[in-house]
Amino acid sequence: MITSASGWRKVFAVSGDETDTTTDIGEENKTLAALAADTFADYITARKNAPSVILGIDTRPTGPQIADQMLRVLMSRKIAVSYAGIIAAPEIMAYSRTADAFIYISASHNPVGHNGIKFGLNDGGVLNGTENAKLVEGFNRRCNSTDEIKRIKKLAQECEPEDLDWVITESIAVMREASSIYRSFAKQVISGTDNISKQNKLFAQIRQNVLSNPVGIVADMNGSARTLSIDSDFFKECGISFYGLNNVPGKIVHAIIPEAENLIWCAAEMERLQEEGHTDVKLGYMPDCDGDRGNIVFWNEQEKEAQVLQAQEVFAISVLAELAYATYWKGIDKEENVKLAVSVNGPTSMRIEEIAKAFDAEVFRAEVGEANVVNLAREKRDQGYVVRILGEGSNGGNITHPAAVRDPLNTIFALIKLLVMRDAVYDDGKVVKGLFHLWCSLSGQEDKYRDDFTLLDVLKTLPAYTTTGVAEERAVLHITTTDHSKLKANFQKIFENQWQIQKDALKSKYGIESYEAIATNGIKETRNLSDYSKSAKGGLKILFYNAEKEPVAFIWMRGSGTEPVFRVMCDVKGTNTEMEKKLLEWETKMILRADQL
């Protein structure tokens, strides 16, 4: 079992086949689930007497058996547990704010035979790396003890059947309550305020605008946990048409990861609906199995076809929208000395720095992992920054404060706000620029603004970058070295030697004149790294500069915390696909050579 802060994961299908759709997890996996629950029981009871815990699952077939074991142990430990059944990750994490902690059974975007466990308290997100490490230590100790394994099996059997039956029966009421709380929380997140009057003003503005400019949304749920969430009703309340696809819980009809190759079904449905006369269909999304991540399809009215946005584009346009939204309200409320910031992971494209610069916002980078980005944002808020939006551009989607997890609703509504909040004329004749107009003005692209703009017009104003996709085959390496510090030390020797050999060619071909090594470990970024091994299992980036000391490209590497692979990528300013290809090939060759030393 991989036990990272982002989630504990393994193949739970008893066959060991990651594509197996069986419901059976086998006796060993039942024991692992029970041990994990017991570990968390110790952790949470040490923090509070008589704690309350919410437990939920996504739609993977192995979820119910894992939940059964965890419920038995928690109840035998006399912990007040509420079972939410199938529930989306953002929903259980919003609902967890009413309890002391949560356990969520999911393997996110991994294949259907996988499953896993996410642990969190009541701050709306998963445990950070430090707290997760405490759980991992306790879990490993239990797994290595025959006595502990015997004890946990006995403990699970001590749960009274009628008590377990009652908790499961009560899940219907729990789901209703969770849905209500999630809906209220979603309105707060999307509007950026807990002021009900301001919330109503925004949603009334959305409803009013879509009367004259209809908006329809296609959602390929792919049998995910979002099939039972608020999406359909929430959009309809806002006057937005909703078209669901594969909307039956557990009906997982294609690969789970919401990357470009799996958004073709959503795109095809958009095109079918357009052909049938549903010209309101302009946006689409597909969540992963736990429903916290949703990448985007949009209707390109110029090409008359549905097109899939790349993950980095989804995040970039979301950041643009939310920074413009924060800037809009800063002007309306006449707030001064507001320091805007964005928290991202290491491999997020540098286009974010360009977007942030237009809004006078700073960008801070953490190691890959949702918990790292969330905790970095919290640190920056403590330092006085307003961090409304954060996330991992390399994976798409975004996290909008006060949420602490990605949510496709927040991504979609970032785009809707961008399209809906247009120029307004007040009674005194004063013109207040809408979000896209603000962006065009602040980024020096006033000439690209027009009153009847579409999302395609917005996309054309994004800074141009060429970036390796996280799901591409060339972005994943299989290495034998398990000591990543050693691997990176070997890489440093090879890279520094190669730099001396290649620097003249890099200068003449790509304008690269210097570089800087950067490490991200947890929420800490270390610049001008002299010893690459210090990045350990964190991210390592080589940032390349031109003669004017402007960053023009970077190569990046890190071993995955949730899969047994080593990830690499390259980001290049502009549309030079050949430069991105060659720099990534160069990085790959050096890493593979380092792996052999």
Same domain, 330 and 280: no
Token pair for 429: 């004749």
204: in domain? no
Q: Among 463, 498, 517, identify where a domain stops.
A: 463
Residue 492 in 3-state DSSP?
Answer: helix
Same domain, 135 and 223: no
Dist CA 556 CA 312 (whole Å): 15
For 206, 214, 280, the CA distances from 211, given in Å and listed in that order, are 9, 6, 11
For 97, 224, 312, 349, the CA distances from 323, given in Å and listed in that order, are 26, 30, 16, 17
360: in domain? yes
Q: What is the pLDDT of residue 561?
A: 65
489: in domain? yes
The pTM assigned to this predicted structure is 0.92
- List, in sequence order, every beta strand (DSSP E) within 497-564: 514-521, 524-526, 539-545, 551-559
Dist CA 101 CA 78 (whole Å): 15
Same domain, 60 and 113: yes
Answer for the pair 206, 421: CB distance below 8 angstroms, yes or no: no
Residue 438 in 3-state DSSP?
Answer: helix
For the chain, the domain total comes to 4
Answer for the pair 581, 359: CB distance below 8 angstroms, yes or no: no
Same domain, 446 and 503: no
184: in domain? no
Q: What is the pLDDT of residue 109?
A: 87
282: in domain? yes
Dist CA 205 CA 210 (whole Å): 9
Q: Among 306, 338, 371, identify where a domain stops.
A: 306
Q: Among 287, 306, 325, identify where a domain stops.
A: 306
Dist CA 423 CA 434 (whole Å): 4
The owner of tokens 């997760």 is 132
Answer for the pair 386, 353: CB distance below 8 angstroms, yes or no: no
Cβ burial 342-372 (10 Å sphere, 16+ → b, else e): bbbbbbbbbbbbbbbebbebebbbbbbbbbb
Answer for the pair 448, 484: CB distance below 8 angstroms, yes or no: no
Same domain, 346 and 406: yes
Dist CA 140 CA 124 (whole Å): 26
27: in domain? yes
User: With a cut of 70, which residues of the chain have pLDDT below it?
Assistant: 332-334, 427, 561-564
Q: What is the pLDDT of residue 221?
A: 97
Same domain, 372 and 450: yes
Same domain, 437 and 483: no
Token pair for 36: 């994990």
Same domain, 358 and 335: yes
Same domain, 458 and 382: yes
Dist CA 518 CA 347 (whole Å): 11
127: in domain? yes
Same domain, 6 and 102: yes
Angle 20-255-470 from CA coordinates, rounded to 5°: 120
CA-wise closest residue to 381 among 367, 398, 402, 366: 402
Same domain, 447 and 487: no
Looking only at the bridges linking them, the beta strands covering 514-521 and 539-545 are antiparallel
Q: How confident is the model over 447-493, as pLDDT tens digits?
A: 999 999 999 999 999 999 999 988 789 999 999 998 999 999 999 99
CATH number of the domain within which 77 lies: 3.40.120.10
284: in domain? yes
Same domain, 488 and 399: no
CA-wise closest residue to 459 among 364, 355, 552, 361: 355
Could you list the residue range(s) of the whole structural domain that residue 577 is in? 467-596
